[in-house]
Amino acid sequence: MKVSLYIEGGGESRSLQIECRAGFRKLFECAGFMGRMPKTHACGSRNRAFDDFNSALRIAEADEYPVLLVDSEGPVTLPAWQHLARDGWVRPNGVDDDQAQLMVQCMETWCVADRAALRAFFGQCLVPNALPPLNGLEERAKDDVQARLANATRPCGRDRAYAKGNRSFKLLGSLDPAELRNHLPYFVLLCDALQQRL
């Protein structure tokens, strides 16, 4: 089966989309998918990711399996497709439950789950006490997680502090999937869904 992930992220620039794909590719390689990798598409906005996913569904061959991967943007209390109805999105006919996957509540939640990777990436200027606690990470609001990550890396200076874009995707590619599995149930769901299809 050929799995293709349509990912929210990467903005509009080609170079940033390349960085986004590279970060996700490294993370999935470390998660044990080397040699049977999903193809990653950095789509920019979440609406563009949904549109690209729908386009892929329309032309998919029998051995192709498109998967949508977007931020949940809030707490998740319903299955993914029902949760995404808040965006006004209608679940396409014939798609599996597993074809919608969520970064709960945002990609930065994945980043703060791996403290060793943060220390290695930011060095001595990281302020660990400013980061959110590891317990219940996926229940923490997106704005809170992003603000705490920004505050924890602010002493690193403008050129080294956390920022969306190139730096965020380099950090993503340095994360240890085992740490993410320890703290993020929705990351486990994503990996399990890929494991079944690849």
24 and 99 share a domain? Answer: yes
Say if residue 166's pLDDT is above 90. Answer: no
State residue 77's pLDDT score: 95
151 and 118 share a domain? Answer: yes
85 and 132 share a domain? Answer: no
**Residue 189 falls within a domain, yes or no?**
yes
20 and 100 share a domain? Answer: yes
**Residue 128 falls within a domain, yes or no?**
yes
Q: What mean pLDDT comes out for the span 134-140? A: 97
Q: Kind of pairing, strands 64-71 and 100-103?
A: parallel
68 and 32 share a domain? Answer: yes
**Residue 10 falls within a domain, yes or no?**
yes
Q: pTM of this prediction?
A: 0.95
For residue 18, name the pLDDT band (cuts at 50, 70, 90).
very high
**Alpha helices, DSSP H, located in 91-184:** 107-112, 115-122, 142-153, 166-174, 177-183
State residue 1's pLDDT score: 87
190 and 93 share a domain? Answer: yes
**Residue 161 falls within a domain, yes or no?**
no
Picking from 51, 41, 44, the residue whose alpha carbon sits closest to that of residue 9 is 44
**Residue 36 falls within a domain, yes or no?**
yes
**Residue 147 falls within a domain, yes or no?**
yes
For residue 11, name the pLDDT band (cuts at 50, 70, 90).
confident
123 and 183 share a domain? Answer: no
State residue 156's pLDDT score: 94
**Residue 94 falls within a domain, yes or no?**
yes
* Residue 14: burial class (beta carbons within 10 Å; 0-12, 13-18, 19+): exposed
State residue 10's pLDDT score: 87
Count how many domains the chain has. 2
The CATH number of whichever domain residue 66 belongs to comes to: 3.40.50
Mean pLDDT of the chain: 95
Residue 42: strand pairing partners: 7
**Residue 142 falls within a domain, yes or no?**
yes
- Residue 128: domain span: 114-156
104 and 146 share a domain? Answer: no
18 and 60 share a domain? Answer: yes
